[in-house]
Amino acid sequence: MTPLPLLTAHQLSLHRPGRTLVEALDLSLHPGTVLGILGPNGAGKSSLLAALAGLAIPARGQVTLDSQILTDMPPLARAQHIALLPQDDSGGYFGNVADYVALGSFPLAGVRADITAMLAEWELSAFAQRPLATLSGGERQRARLAQVAAQQAPVVLLDEPLTHLDPAHQAALLRWARDQATRGHALALTLHDPNWAACHCDQLLFLHGDGRWQLGTPATLLTASALEGLYGAGTAALWARGAPAQPV
């Protein structure tokens, strides 16, 4: 039996001045699944994640969390169910890495995550007492991901989580996402590499940036013609034909 949807978008439309990004999107994030969101720059991927997190009001439609309208829920209640890694790192935090990661536990109402374990998992133990601002881009990105992990939310939304990460840490992040899905969480992440999407996502959502969207499995969407329709002529070379279409 298919599990009930945890987070659902109903006829969701997202607009930007003079443009329609997404039109009438129906999308369900089921527990135990990883959704990859692909599309060109400016196609609305970040806007969609903000709407799915309840941080942006759609032009039309709504997002529900277990049948509750997301924007009607108090922010703390949303944070107890949904974790969001924004694409932009606004900075401005002057404390150390351990305290920064621990902030992810704030919505848990006194149930603090095991920060020592989080630091070890994301290879940050040696930096625990270092000021966050002294880390490299990749190290800082791992700290941001560790903070999201510390939130322990059943729904995890990651906007370009592979930014600044080397290939080994990209692979580790995607294995973590798969492990979270195995534990019953629902994840959505924006990606640019169709090969990573093929290996680690159960479903894909293509956003074309003009209202059009496509939803399907990697096996059905990752074709040369579909990728060139999404990104433009000549981009099919990004796709390694024969790459596995199932999570590994």
In order along its 248 residues, the chain shows pLDDT tens digits of 556 668 999 999 999 998 999 999 999 999 999 999 999 999 999 999 999 999 999 999 999 999 899 999 999 999 999 999 999 887 688 899 999 999 999 888 766 778 899 999 999 999 999 999 999 999 999 999 999 999 999 999 999 999 999 999 999 999 999 999 999 999 999 999 999 999 999 999 999 999 999 999 999 999 989 999 999 988 888 776 544 444 44
Give the angle 10-12-17 at the CA atoms, nearest 5°: 170
Give the angle 42-85-102 at the CA atoms, nearest 5°: 160
Which CATH number is 7-88+154-238 given?
A: 3.40.50.300
**pLDDT at res. 235:** 84
**Structural domain boundaries in the chain:** 7-88+154-238
Q: What whole-number distance in Å separates Cα of residue 13 and Cα of residue 29?
A: 17
7: which 2 tokens? 């987070």
**pLDDT at res. 240:** 66
Residue 8, amino acid: T
Q: What whole-number distance in Å separates Cα of residue 242 and Cα of residue 124?
A: 36
**pLDDT at res. 82:** 96
**pLDDT at res. 245:** 41
Q: What whole-number distance in Å separates Cα of residue 238 and Cα of residue 216?
A: 19
pTM higher than 0.85 for the full model?
yes
- Within 13 A of 105's CA, how many CA atoms are on the CB side? 13
Whether the Cβ atoms of residue 225 and residue 33 lie closer than 8 Å to each other: no
DSSP reduced 3-state for 112: coil
